[in-house]
Structure 1
Amino acid sequence: MSSHIKKTRNLLNTRLGFFILATVLFWIKTYIAYRTEFTLGAKGTVQQILLFVNPIPALILIFGLALYFRGRLFYWVLMLLHLIESIWLFANILYYREFSDFLSFGIIKGSGDVQNNLGKSLAEILHPSDFFVFVDFVILVVLLIFKVIQVDRRKFKFRNAFALTILSFVLIFSEYGVANANRSGLLTRTFDNNYIVKYLGLNEYAAFNAYQTAKESATRSNAKSSDIDSVLNFVKKNRSAINPEYFGKAKGKNVFVIHLESFQQFLINYKVDGKEVTPNLNKFYKNKNTISFDNFYHQVSQGKTSDAEMMMENSLYGLPQGSAMVTYGTQNTYQAAPAILDQKGYTTASFHGDVPSFWNRDNTYKSWGYQYFFDSDYYQEKPSYSVGYGLKDKIFFKDSVKYIQQLPQPFYAKLITLTNHYPYELDKPNVSFPATKTGDNTVDPYVQTAHYLDQAFGEFIKYLNKTGLMKNSMIVLYGDHYGISNNHRAAIAQLLHKKEITDYDLAQFQKVPFMIHADDLKGGINHTYGGEIDALPTILHLLGIKDNNTVQFGNDLLSKKRDQTVAFRNGDLVSPKYTVIGSNVYLTKTGKEITPNDEQSKEIKKLQNHVNKELSMSDRVILGDLLRFYNPKGFKKVNKKDFNYKYSYAMKALKDSDNKSKKTLLDKIHKKDTEKLYKTDAPELKK
């Protein structure tokens, strides 16, 4: 036994031995993280083996770089590489816990635009046990400092270091070969990042993501005017016809688009302890003049809220990695709802109780053609007025009316709520609903902030009725993305009253509300399958705008003949017949998993090809900024220099516009102010 210990110690006192020790320790902790921190869904022997061994090739390559350095420098370089790798693993554990995804260079690049209040979220996400990823680093440092392991000053032959580098590449390509055989098209199709990490590893994912980021940058510089032709052909072929029963039913009306933050469809009619979570939204959902879609899905990726806004207002998908608004919101050309409606005589405005730079809105909104952007600079700020990511919803709605009443009609106004945002915090005076009892601290307060949002919405609707705006407006409500990520499977199962849930259940859990209300609309529950990409053409048709020239990848949800295939950003799909999640296929109506026969395989392949092509085409438009080459008939390109969102400028513009048109709410009802008509029970505003 002593001879084995002596041989082991002698090995560790060599550079190769220390390299092996560092690699093995990092390999073990990475695999532990795979199994405990990430939901990678490894199934079958091949996937399990790949998951177990995939950290090794990249670690040999990265840590092996230190072997090219001599003496003490080898140890310094190896420990630095080890620390960088540990930080990368640590950061992904935290990010994955909230977003069920891995960090991308697009997200890192845009972190400065989305950092507001992230410190509070980080405090909620961070667990003391997360620091286990640094334990092996500390162990190695201690072993060196106390000279348990001696520094090896002998020369390590270059050919041996080079041989290890070659070995790492052989292992990487061999691993990819096995992975691609088990999952064809792993890197050529738009897969979930979980697949890349599961099959290849976290470092290989980072390398592939870096390649994609560089490729995206090159795409714009290499794009040419003829590239838009294939996009136009695809869009024209897939555009759905108008439904005469609904076309123009809301013509000339104001449009309110209310963005329900992190709000999922399951909350509608959901009860906790016998009490409705959202009684006001439930009533609105069932109203005879509300068209409510019960098979409407969010389709966001890493951009989350920004992806939802991109789809809702442009009918363009977000990107596979990062946020299109952050990366391409400033420089790209768009054909967005605000610009389209501005050119049809609408006043356009967005309301948001947070800093204007969040998700790069202050720049992106100019590219989209918003005339006004009422951000946090327009609202009174007190510590008690805000929670989480900005102004509390009750205060936000109430304080927004001072600007709404000054907008010349007809107007298009988007109001972005915030309180129902992770980490679902509310101060005690505002909590008026019981939490769920799943035992998951992230999930349980979710219904409380959702209830608060519902109360705020109810107060706003009463104001619209009092002022007459309800009769002269079309109200559009949508949930932007999930509030509870797939990481919380056990809690989700409890919420859905199921013993366990499948990937099919999680796909259905991605439904979000989409409701359209106007006094003249024939309402009801519409069962068509669609998603956020379909919102813009639906809204435009209801307003009587037959827009056949601008580029939109969605189609009117009210069209009688329309493609009902819903594409998720990772390439998965839902259709009325099939739900495809990765390699698993389910019957949508029953949730039963099937092994497709030849006929079914052909149907599914056709659906998948359509989804892949649609996502690819949309990516081409954004990455190549292809709309700069296209001048559609009836649409004038936006000049960003026309817009200024500073308070003084906006107030002067509103006053000048009113003097010219006299079409504001105040002009119509002959009042100087309507703020006194707004009633709220917000405790912060009570005297």
Structure 2
Amino acid sequence: MNLEYIKNNKLFKVLLNFLNNNIDIILFFTLICIKVMSYARNISSSYLSGLVFFPIAASALILVSFSLIFKKKSRVTFLYIADVVVSLILIADLMYYRYFKDITTLAAVKNAKLLQGVSDSVGSVANIKDLYYLLDIFILLPAVRFYKRRIKNIKPISKRLVSFLAMFILGASVNAAIFRWVSKVQPTLLTAMSNRIYLTTMIGNINFHMVDSYNYISTSVKNSKKLSEDRENEIKNFLENNNKSTGEINLKGEAEGKNLIVIQVEALQNFVINQKVNGQEITPNLNRWVNKCMYFDNYFYQVAGGNTSDAEFMSNNSLYPAQSGSAYYTYSGNKYDSLASALKDKNYYTAAMHGNSEGFWNRNVMYKAQNFDDFFGEHSFNIDEKIGLGLSDKSFLNQSLEKLKSFKEPYYGFLVTLTSHFPYEAVDKYGEFDVGEYEGTFIGKYLKAIHYTDAQLGEFLDALEQQGIMDNSVIALYGDHFAIPKDNAEELFKFENEEESDDFTWFKYQKVPLLLHFPQDEYAGVNHKYSCQMDLYPTLANLYNLPRNYMFGKDMLNGDDEKVIFRNGSFIDGKNLYVSWTNTYYSLESGEKINETEELKEEKNQYTKELQYCDDLLNHNLIKTFTEKK
């Protein structure tokens, strides 16, 4: 068979003609599939199934189908623009994942203005390798112009519509089958989107954003309607049962009438407590105070897209973070039965303090919604030393101490530190701390940053003690969220001499310290109970003899419940860990994987339902409804 015969063969001519007329479609389809598969590997390399190719291909077909409506030149332009848009979305999603360990949603985009001022953080999660997603765009630009000049024949609109419908139906049919399978394997995952990473690895990035858009719009429409009375009663009954006394009264009312000072520390993770680097204590001051406090060493952060603001939200309200985005923005118009509000009912003066701009994370609005009497933000402080995002912790804590001394007693002071904020590069010139072999690494920079903040916290706590403020005050100090992103997990595991690098090992380090200090160092000791940020308010409610009406957390000082539910659907029940994005269970005692039992499956469904209860409560402002009906 010679070359001339092949050229004259009718089948070859048909194939060549097809390729010539559809090279733009074939190329776009191939590039999109490669890029989205590459993205999926970046966020889930350890558990990515090859089956994800089918929904990725289906979503690419749906995109291609819309181009078939246009005339040939416009079709090429449409596909090129679609390639640019998809590539930019993938890069944005990768950067968001590196910082938040989550997938970008419409609600998160709506909150984008709340991220002003963290350009250093965003820049630090950018990666030169991300340009890979844009490489073809630059290479293809001259080829697109050349190809468009060669286009001559134009199909009539009737044929273009038939081609569109055929390809759209093919892609939609594959997607429908995939979505049906996902609904069977993980009921409510497509609607609740409780685990966005796992969902993305099952249906692909393009499909995820289509589902997210549909859910966002449908939820907005649904939430504009009144919730059914049956659903309201179901949620109310759950809260009543959840907030019932366990019958035990450990330390009930112990802090009644005393001042309350709560300190939320930026990026304070538990692994640095009582740990050394290069022979030096990382947090010598907190280590000293741990021995004077009730120290919870199995206290987990539960933040989602709202990060620091989520930690504030949970600690002051015992409500789960928003399903997507930040509750501090989305639900700032709601009524809350907050810690500040409950203490105000007992004639406490309440104030929040933070050395950043008042509008950051919408705090100026949200603190009012939570019934704080005053918010002392950037304009209430003398900005005499600025490090990183705002006022240095040293100056902030010194000035906050003077404010506390001026408050009318009893009071509740809520302080949020700032200097140890990611990416931990701002404190290098403020005090030497030799991190040895970790110099210049991500974790080395963090150790320097948290060592600096530890020094300022030590001075602040010592001053509270020396000036007698602690004699009539309870202090709660905790970390707000992770310090080491999952992208840098290997550095953390190396630092901790961990041989394993699985999800169980990762979860072991997703703890933040909680220190509760009582006058005269009473009740000092270590509490190993599994607990979380949702539990702080119920525990303080017990200590201050406050009512418990609308809390999803538990009192850490009473009862034996060790439930910890994370916004992504993962949970701890005191004996087991469930990792939602791989649908895997681990024994907390052995760290070994275990099989799902009917009991564990029921537990998982119940915890998913609990997250949905809180979503409904927030979406429909039910605390306002419940209080008005009393």
Counterpart for residue 165 of structure 2: 162
Alpha-carbon distance change, 139 to 269 in structure 1, aligned in 2, over 3 angstroms: same
Instruction: Give the letter aligned to residue 311 of structure 1.
Output: M
Indicate whether 1:577 and 2:579 are aligned.
no
Alpha-carbon distance change, 8 to 159 in structure 1, aligned in 2, over 3 angstroms: closer
Counterpart for residue 324 of structure 1: 327
Counterpart for residue 551 of structure 1: 550
Instruction: Give the letter aligned to residue 510 of structure 1.
Output: Q
Consecutive unaligned residues in structure 2, runs of 5 or more: none
Give how far 1:185 is off. Answer: 4.9
Give how far 1:482 is off. Answer: 0.9
Instruction: Report the Cα distance in structure 2 between the residues aligned to 1:477 and 1:309, rounded to whole angstroms.
Output: 12
Counterpart for residue 665 of structure 1: none
Alpha-carbon distance change, 66 to 186 in structure 1, aligned in 2, over 3 angstroms: same
Counterpart for residue 120 of structure 2: 120
Give how far 1:7 is off. Answer: 8.0
Counterpart for residue 679 of structure 1: none
Contact (CA 8 Å) 1:228, 1:629: kept in 2 or not?
no
Counterpart for residue 498 of structure 1: 498
Counterpart for residue 397 of structure 2: 397
Instruction: Report the Cα distance in structure 2 between the residues aligned to 1:433 and 1:179, rounded to whole angstroms.
Output: 50
Counterpart for residue 514 of structure 1: 514
Counterpart for residue 344 of structure 1: 346
Contact (CA 8 Å) 2:428, 2:449: kept in 1 or not?
no
What SS class does the counterpart of residue 456 from structure 1 fall into? helix
What SS class does the counterpart of residue 352 from structure 2 fall into? strand
Instruction: Give the letter aligned to residue 412 of structure 1.
Output: Y
Give how far 1:488 is off. Answer: 2.3
Contact (CA 8 Å) 1:259, 1:415: kept in 2 or not?
yes
Contact (CA 8 Å) 1:191, 1:571: kept in 2 or not?
yes
Contact (CA 8 Å) 1:225, 1:626: kept in 2 or not?
no
What SS class does the counterpart of residue 610 from structure 2 fall into? helix
Instruction: Report the Cα distance in structure 2 between the residues aligned to 1:442 and 1:53, rounded to whole angstroms.
Output: 37
Contact (CA 8 Å) 2:44, 2:201: kept in 1 or not?
no
Give how far 1:462 is off. Answer: 2.1
Alpha-carbon distance change, 151 to 500 in structure 1, aligned in 2, over 3 angstroms: farther
Alpha-carbon distance change, 529 to 292 in structure 1, aligned in 2, over 3 angstroms: same
Contact (CA 8 Å) 1:70, 1:153: kept in 2 or not?
no
Alpha-carbon distance change, 431 to 92 in structure 1, aligned in 2, over 3 angstroms: farther
Q: Which of 11, 14, 27 does residue 21 from structure 1 map onto?
A: 27
Alpha-carbon distance change, 309 to 482 in structure 1, aligned in 2, over 3 angstroms: same
How do residues 668-683 of structure 1 correspond to structure 2 at under 5 angstroms? none
Of all paired residues, the percent bearing the same amino acid is: 30
Alpha-carbon distance change, 573 to 282 in structure 1, aligned in 2, over 3 angstroms: same
How do residues 452-471 of structure 1 correspond to structure 2 at under 5 angstroms? 452-471=452-471
TM normalised by structure 1 equals 0.85
Counterpart for residue 360 of structure 2: 358
Instruction: Report the Cα distance in structure 1 between the residues aligned to 2:473 and 2:606, rounded to whole angstroms.
Output: 36
Counterpart for residue 369 of structure 2: 367
Alpha-carbon distance change, 366 to 494 in structure 1, aligned in 2, over 3 angstroms: same
Counterpart for residue 140 of structure 1: 140
Give how far 1:133 is off. Answer: 0.7
Counterpart for residue 212 of structure 1: 215
Contact (CA 8 Å) 2:191, 2:215: kept in 1 or not?
no
Counterpart for residue 422 of structure 2: 422
Q: Which of 258, 261, 269 does residue 263 from structure 2 map onto?
A: 258
Instruction: Report the Cα distance in structure 1 between the residues aligned to 2:222 and 2:514, rounded to whole angstroms.
Output: 34
Give how far 1:391 is off. Answer: 1.6
Instruction: Report the Cα distance in structure 2 between the residues aligned to 1:149 and 1:21, rounded to whole angstroms.
Output: 18
Counterpart for residue 285 of structure 1: 290
Indicate whether 1:249 and 2:254 are aligned.
yes
For these two proteins, the number of residue pairs brought into alignment is 615
Give how far 1:506 is off. Answer: 1.4
Give how far 1:585 is off. Answer: 1.4
What SS class does the counterpart of residue 20 from structure 1 fall into? helix
Instruction: Give the letter aligned to residue 247 of structure 1.
Output: K
Indicate whether 1:110 and 2:87 are aligned.
no
Give how far 1:269 is off. Answer: 0.8
Indicate whether 1:200 and 2:203 are aligned.
yes
Instruction: Give the letter aligned to residue 359 of structure 2.
Output: S
User: Could you say what the CA RMSD is over the residues aligned between the two structures, in angstroms?
Assistant: 2.4
Instruction: Report the Cα distance in structure 2 between the residues aligned to 1:103 and 1:91, rounded to whole angstroms.
Output: 8
For residues 380-438 of structure 1, the C-alpha deviation after alignment (integer angstroms, 9 at most, x for no partner) is 235xx223322221111112233222211111011101111110123443142233746
Contact (CA 8 Å) 1:40, 1:195: kept in 2 or not?
no
Give how far 1:149 is off. Answer: 7.7
Instruction: Report the Cα distance in structure 2 between the residues aligned to 1:590 and 1:190, rounded to whole angstroms.
Output: 30
Instruction: Report the Cα distance in structure 1 between the residues aligned to 2:474 and 2:152, rounded to whole angstroms.
Output: 75
What SS class does the counterpart of residue 219 from structure 2 fall into? helix
Counterpart for residue 306 of structure 1: 309
Contact (CA 8 Å) 1:51, 1:199: kept in 2 or not?
yes
Give how far 1:312 is off. Answer: 0.5
Give how far 1:349 is off. Answer: 0.6
Q: Which of 626, 629, 640 does residue 625 from structure 2 map onto?
A: 629
Counterpart for residue 58 of structure 2: 57
TM normalised by structure 2 equals 0.92
Contact (CA 8 Å) 2:269, 2:513: kept in 1 or not?
yes
Counterpart for residue 36 of structure 2: 30
Contact (CA 8 Å) 1:303, 1:322: kept in 2 or not?
yes
Counterpart for residue 239 of structure 2: 235
Instruction: Report the Cα distance in structure 2 between the residues aligned to 1:632 and 1:589, rounded to whole angstroms.
Output: 46
Indicate whether 1:567 and 2:565 are aligned.
yes
Instruction: Give the letter aligned to residue 203 of structure 2.
Output: L
What SS class does the counterpart of residue 132 from structure 1 fall into? helix
Give how far 1:553 is off. Answer: 1.0
Alpha-carbon distance change, 280 to 68 in structure 1, aligned in 2, over 3 angstroms: same
Contact (CA 8 Å) 2:268, 2:482: kept in 1 or not?
yes
What SS class does the counterpart of residue 80 from structure 1 fall into? helix
Instruction: Report the Cα distance in structure 2 between the residues aligned to 1:31 and 1:435, rounded to whole angstroms.
Output: 38
